Structure 1
Amino acid sequence: MLHQPNFFAVTGGPGAGKTTLLRHLQGLGEIVVEESARAILQAHGVRPDQARLAELMLERDLAAYRAARGRTFFDRSLVDAWAMLRARGPCPAADEAVRTCRYHRLAFIAPPWREIYVQDAQRIQTWAEAVETYERCAEAYQAAGYELVELPRVSVEDRAEFVLDRAR
């Protein structure tokens, strides 16, 4: 088992401020790994079906996990891909990845935040789907054995301070 107590996952539904937070942390000099789903969608141009997207996410997230060094913040993690895959049925490879590639025991979760939620070319979910995704993320991280720390609905600077205080 690989346990990386200096790797921190940031999860939650779409449009809750995760990427904004991580870009801010990166601006402060922190190491950040971008969200795999958004990168895959941008690279492929055509949206793959959900099962294929989840497979590609898992591959990319595993590679990012293995390549990361030092304190690193992940915009989502392989647990998010695992959640998508397990919703479709058994997936032994994803189960093994979640069991053996461990992040810090605390995972940060961004709650749905209606005031900042917007859709774009890659974020096509409705508000209701965004809330549902948040709930699935929370369930998956808890099922994978992580303790969730909910991010406060505050400025990005205050959110970053909140995260850094807990990522020591």
Structure 2
Amino acid sequence: MEKIKRILLIGGPGSGKTTLIHAIEQAGYTVHHEISRMVTQRAQEQGIDQLFLEDPMAFSNELLKGRIEQFESASSGINFYDRGIPDVPAYHKFTDDPIPESYQDASEKYQYDAVFYLPPWKEIYQSDNERYESYDQAVTIGSILAHYYQDLKYEIIEVPKTSVEKRLEFILKHVSID
């Protein structure tokens, strides 16, 4: 049976994670897409404009549940994730909300094999209906995420600011199934 390997992409909003995860998927790898937009859109369909702002705990609980499901649904071989379980408590650090012990426990229980950090990149940053953060906030979030993962003893691999193709090549050079 082939081993399961979980590779995580992290970074602040607008750093190119989603574009890169699509390129990884196009290259034939298994990907687990970011679910925060889905949670936000589902809430908007129920009349809640920004669930993250209006009920941060409900939003976080939905994210944590979804990300644990993604983690557990990994198939054999290499699995790539657009954001991970520890992103949930890290965002609580950004909003200065208390971090439930269950969030910390989940972050320690579910371990990824490698974490790639996409740094803030002003030239590609865009806001939209689901991304309400300013660029400066995105920079702060990126820093908090990187530090939170480091506090969990992950080695963070920074992805260079270059073309999508070169970012993909960079990541694939660092990833192998043992």
Q: Could you tell me the TM-score, scaled by structure 2's length?
A: 0.87
1:103 maps onto 2:80 in alignment: no
Aligned partner (choices 48, 51, 54) of residue 57 of structure 2: 51
Aligned amino acid, residue 51 of structure 1: M
Instruction: Give unpaired runs (5+ residues) of structure 1.
Output: none
1:65 maps onto 2:71 in alignment: yes
Q: Could you tell me the TM-score, scaled by structure 1's length?
A: 0.92
SS of residue in 2 equivalent to 1:8: strand
Aligned partner (choices 152, 160, 168) of residue 152 of structure 1: 160
Query: For the residues of structure 1 that align with 2:99 and 2:42, how far apart are their CA atoms?
Result: 28
Query: For the residues of structure 1 that align with 2:33 and 2:41, how far apart are their CA atoms?
Result: 12
Equivalent residues in 2 for 1:110-125, closer than 5 Å: 110-125=118-133
SS of residue in 1 equivalent to 2:70: helix
SS of residue in 1 equivalent to 2:86: helix
Task: Tell me by how many angstroms 1:83 deviates.
Answer: 1.4
State the Cα deviation string for residues 117-162 of structure 1 (Å, max 9, x = none): 0101101110110101101111111111111011100100000010
Task: Tell me by how many angstroms 1:56 deviates.
Answer: 1.2
Is 1:79–1:141's contact at 8 Å kept on the other side of the alignment?
yes
Aligned amino acid, residue 171 of structure 2: V
Task: Tell me by how many angstroms 1:5 deviates.
Answer: 6.4
Query: For the residues of structure 2 that align with 1:92 and 1:57, how far apart are their CA atoms?
Result: 16
Aligned partner (choices 77, 89, 95) of residue 98 of structure 2: 89
- Pair 1:85–1:129, CA change in 2 (3 A): closer
From the CA coordinates, give the structure whose radius of gyration is larger. 2
- Paired position in structure 2 for 1:142: 150
Q: What RMSD in Å do the two structures reach over aligned CA positions?
A: 1.5
- Pair 1:109–1:5, CA change in 2 (3 A): farther
Is 1:58–1:82's contact at 8 Å kept on the other side of the alignment?
no
